[in-house]
Homo-oligomer: A and B are copies of this chain.
């Protein structure tokens, strides 16, 4: 399904969250699709179920997936695309931190825009 970078400083559960979102965005996972159980996913990734469970719980909080007790976990059928002003503000701050560093090291606005376009297209 996907792989994790065990040497990365990025927490495993955050990597799982990002990878699931990527699969949804790319269309490899569609609304209603089931994703592996906590235990299976843990076994596949060779990590503990607790870490997978943490990722699933956060994904459910963000309405990316929904769980039906004792049945399984599924991609949300009604993807909530709420603006979510608070979350957007956090994203904005994190992006600003990166742009500060890019601007400091001599990257023009066009450079940054091109980088962003390139990233967006690759997703």
Contacts and interface: CB of A to CB of B under 8 A. Distances in A.
Contact of A101 (B21, B97, B105): B21
The 6 closest A-B pairs by CB, nearest first: A81-B106, A109-B120, A96-B119, A116-B116, A91-B98, A99-B119
A115 interface: yes
* Chain A interface main SS type: helix
B109 A95 contact: no
Interface in A62-106: 64, 81-84, 87, 91-92, 94-106
Q: Assembly of this chain: how many copies?
A: 2
B116 A99 contact: yes
A99 B98 CA distance: 12
A103 B123 contact: yes
A92 B121 CA distance: 13
